[in-house]
A and B are shown apart, each in its own frame.
Chain A
Amino acid sequence: MTAVPALLVENLSVEFRTRSGTVQALERVSFAVPKGETLAIVGESGSGKSVTAYAVMGILDPAGKITAGRAMLGGLDLLAATADQVAAVRGREIAMIFQNPRTALNPIRTVGSQIADVLIRHANVPRREAPGRAVDLLRDVGITDPARRAKAYPFEMSGGMCQRVMIAIALAAKPSVLIADEPTTGLDVTTQAVIMDLIGDLARDIGMATIFITHDLALAAQRADRIVVMHAGHVIENAPTAELFARPRHPYTAELIAATPDAAASLAELASIPGSLPDLRRIDLPPCRYAERCPRRRVDCDAELPPAPAIPEHVVACRNPLS
C-alpha cells in the first residue's frame, strides 16, 4: 500500500435520532483507499454501506449525526471542514454516483445541459465551451452519436445510458476519489459488465481511487482490489480480495460467501445465515453485533474489541476468527 491514501476514513460513528430511539448506524468504521485502487464495501441491507458514503460526502439525512471520526481527503478532514470547504471539493476532488440513475438525473433538463452545469461549476470550463465539452464527455463514456444524445432527456434513454451520463457527470472534473453506490443494481448483467469496465478504465486513466458499494459479493470479487465487509454498522473484515475469498476469517464473511449462489453446486448446498440484524436502537447493543447470530460465539465475545486500524493487511473484528 502506498503511504498516503486518497481517502482515509477513521473511527467514523454515525447515529440517527428517530422517534423510537437513537439508531447506532455506524460505529468506529475505518478503511482507506490508495490512489488508483478499487475498494468494495459489501454487506446486506441495513449494514451501513450507504450511510458511510453519505457521511463522507456530507449529504447525510438531517436526522443523522456524525458523533466521531474523521475522513481525510488529502489534507482536508471532510467531517470537520466547513460547508464551504466541503462544497469546494465535492464534485471536484470527490464525486459520487448513485444507485438509480434515472431518479438522480433531473428529468426536465437535457443530459447535455446537466453535464455542462458540472463542467462550469467544477471544472472551470467557460460557459460557451461547456456544451461542446459535454458532448466530448458523452463520447468518452461510450455513448454513440453523442451530439444527438446530449439533447435527449433522461426518460429517452435506457438505464444503462443514464448510468453512463451519471458517470460522465461524476468524472467531469476528474476527481481523485469516486464513490459508486450500487452503480449497476437494476441493470442487466451485460450492461453491468460494460458499466463496470467503463468505471475501471476511466479510473485507471486518471489514477482515481474508487469506493464501490455493493451487496453482490461476486461482483466485488471480480472488480475490487480490496474488500471491506460490513455488518450492522461495523466493519467486520477488511482484506485484499483474493485473500478474503481464499481465507475468510470472520464467521459472517464465511457465511455470506456460502450463501452466494455462484459458489454452490446445488440449492441444498447453499447455506442460509441464521438470525437477522440486531435492532440498532437497542441501548444494550453488544460489542460484537454479530454475536447473537454467531455459531462460534465464546464467553469473551461480550468484551469490548480494540478499535481496528484503518490500514491493515487483513483485519478481522472477531475474538474467535476462522483460521
Chain B
Amino acid sequence: MPTVTMTDEARLTGLLRRVTGDEKHGPSAHSTLDVLWVLYDRVLDVAPERVDDPERDRFLLSKGHGPAAYYAVLAAQGFIPEQWLDGMGDAHSPLGHHPDRLLVPGVEIGSGSLGHGLGLGVGVALGLRAQGITRPRTYVLLGDAELDEGSNHEAVAFAGATRLAGLTAIVVDNQSATHGWPGGIASRFTVNGWTAETVDGRDRDTIERALRGHTGERPHAVVAVTERKGN
C-alpha cells in the first residue's frame, strides 16, 4: 500500500543526475531504477517517519554497488534530504558508493560486498515471524552477477526448503554475470520451492504485479530483466 504520493518523472531524473553529476546518460543507465521506484512508490509499506516501526516492510539492497538510483529514490520519497545527493563519497557525505545503514535513514543494511543481503533477509524474515509480526514482507534486491556468490545459493535453498513465505527476492538481470545463467535465473529459485516470475524490468505495472504475486505460502522471486549492462 503506497504511503507516499507520486513524484513526477522529471524530478526523479533530476535527483538522479544530482547524485551522479552525469548529464549524458538518462535514467535508463540505472538498471535498478524502475524496480526501486515501484517498490518505494507502490509496494513497500514504509515511510520516512516509520523507519523504526516494527510493522514496516523491510527492503534490503544486497547489490550495494551503483546506489545512485537508490539514493535518488530515497530522496524523492523524503527519507533523506536532497542536499545529501551532492558530493556522494566525499569525506563528510553520509552517502558512499556503497550504502551504510548506520549513516542513512531508511537503509536497512549496509552492503557492497556481494552475496550478503539474502542471508540477512532470511534472518530478518525469520525474526519477524518468530515475534509474530506477520504482515510485513522482507524484500531483497540482488543482481544477476551477484548470484555468482555461493552464499546466495545457501539462502535460496534454505528459504525454499523451509517455505519462508515472508521473503521476496528481486533479481535485476542486466546480463552481467560472466558465465551467465543457462536455463534462466528464475529456475534457480523454483527448483528450490520458490514461486518466481520473470518480467520486463522497465515495465512498472508488470513489475508491480509480479511483486504482488506472492502466494503467502512460499518465498517469492521476481526476475526483472533490463538492457544488457554497458549497452
Partners in one complex: no
